Structure 1
Amino acid sequence: MSQGRGSAILLVAVAAAMVVVLHSEVAEAATYTVGDGGGWTFNVAAWPKGKRFRAGDTLVFNYNSATHNVVAVNGAGYNGCTTPRRSKVYQTGKDQIKLVKGQNFFICNFPGHCQSGMKIAVTAV
Structure 2
Amino acid sequence: MERSGRIFAILLVLGVVLQCAVATTYVVGDSSGWAVPSDSSTYSNWVSGKTFLVGDILTFNFTTNAHDVLQVTKESYEACTSTNNIGSVITTGPANINLNSTGEHYYICTVSGHCQSGQKLSLTVSASPTTSPSPAGAPTSQTTPPPPPSSSGSFVFANVFVSVLCIVMCFLV
Runs of 4+ in structure 1 deviating by more than 4 angstroms, as ranges, are: none
- Which amino acid in the other structure matches residue 26 of structure 2? Y
1:36 matches 2:30 = yes
**Which residue in 1 is equivalent to 2:47?**
48
Tell me how many residue pairs correspond in the alignment: 104
**Which residue in 2 is equivalent to 1:113?**
114
Unmatched runs of 5 consecutive residues or more in structure 1: 1-20
1:76 matches 2:75 = yes
- Structure having the higher helix fraction is 2
- Which amino acid in the other structure matches residue 114 of structure 2? H
Q: Secondary structure of 1:89's match?
A: strand
1:101 to 1:50, Cα distance in 2 relative to 1, 3 A: same
CA distance in structure 1 between the partners assigned to 2:85 and 2:114 by the alignment: 20
1:107 to 1:86, Cα distance in 2 relative to 1, 3 A: closer
Shift of 1:29: 1.3
CA distance in structure 2 between the partners assigned to 1:35 and 1:85 by the alignment: 24
| 8 Å CA contact retained: 2:56, 2:98 | yes
Q: Secondary structure of 2:66's match?
A: coil
Deviation string 1:58-105 (CA, Å, 9 cap, x unpaired) is 000010112100011010111100002554211111110011211111
**Which residue in 1 is equivalent to 2:97?**
97
- Using structure 2 for the length normalisation, give the TM-score: 0.55
- Structure having the higher strand fraction is 1
Unmatched runs of 5 consecutive residues or more in structure 2: 1-13, 15-19, 127-173
